[in-house]
Amino acid sequence: MGYLVGVTLLWAFSFSLIGVYLAGQVDAYFAVLTRVALALLVFLPWLLRYPIKASLALQLAALGAVQLGLMYLFYYQSFLLLSVPQVLVFTIFTPVYITLLYDVLAGRFQPRFLLAAAMAVVAAAIMRDGMPAPDYWLGFLVVQGANLCFAAGQVGYKRLMQQGGAPARLQYQQFGWFYVGALLVALPAWFILGTAQYPVNATQWAVLLWLGLVASGGGYYWWNKGASLVSSGTLAVMNNALIPAGLLVNLLIWNRSANLWSLALGSVILLASLWLCRPDRSKPIWHDRSPTYTKGNAK
């Protein structure tokens, strides 16, 4: 849980940094490529030092291609169509996607987690901001594309760690393959669709470095590691904790308007949905734990 909270605080700044310094000023495909390439550099030493099974590497790369590569392509385009608060609020459906995907793959149905995800959606809807932009509905659909990719990647990574990946303390050894997959999407996308709209000042380069080395390089590793340690319900709800955090940053640093009463009410409902996801100590929680690690997993 601590990993998810920490990354939530870290990513709260990313929305505004992209919206203020990059959107419409730096080519979105170049920005995605730069973030992914820098993130891969962070994990490259471990990727080269600790070989893993080809099948595991391919699965991690596929998850990275979806959760990071495809998601970023949708995500950066959304900032050209919507304001930062609208992008934040349109992520409210991610918890539902996570809960339903996880239950379908697990062959089960847990109404408690779906209720918690629905509460998170209600909480985020309460915190909605602004009037519809001209490209409101197109922007909504683009954000949903990003939400689905992000949800699918999280659920896939969680299940992969349960079924044969490394325990939490050793996941850094193999996570570089996640960024390899993302790069395989970002590189051709930039080559085919990108334009010659590059950063023109030190601030824009600094933002890209921060987003690539810290928000992506560290953030996605810590987030997915945290995802492998909590229940699917808690993971779903924490996805919407980004909304009040991002809105607060946007308000306090960039002086954007926000309804503090709706923000507070939505946050209270989010906390209640997290409480609903607390582990039931009377029942086994096999689906929330990492598997026993053996040498065979590291080959």
Task: Show me where the domains of the chain are located.
Answer: 2-279
What integer pLDDT is reported at residue 252 of this predicted model?
A: 72
**C-alpha separations of 148 from 35, 68, 165, 237 in Å:** 20, 11, 23, 15
Question: Quick one: DSSP state of residue 170?
Answer: G
What integer pLDDT is reported at residue 263 of this predicted model?
A: 67
Instruction: Kindly report the length of the chain.
Output: 299
What integer pLDDT is reported at residue 47 of this predicted model?
A: 92
What integer pLDDT is reported at residue 39 of this predicted model?
A: 95
What integer pLDDT is reported at residue 67 of this predicted model?
A: 93
What integer pLDDT is reported at residue 40 of this predicted model?
A: 96
What integer pLDDT is reported at residue 166 of this predicted model?
A: 63
Residues 118 and 112: their CA atoms lie apart, in Å, by 10
Q: What is the 3-state secondary structure (H, E, C) of 107-160?
A: CCCCHHHHHHHHHHHHHHHHCCCCCCCCCHHHHHHHHHHHHHHHHHHHHHHHHH
Nearest to 235, CA basis, from 167, 166, 287, 171? 287
Low pLDDT (below 50) residues in the chain: 131, 281-299
What integer pLDDT is reported at residue 124 of this predicted model?
A: 65
What integer pLDDT is reported at residue 222 of this predicted model?
A: 92
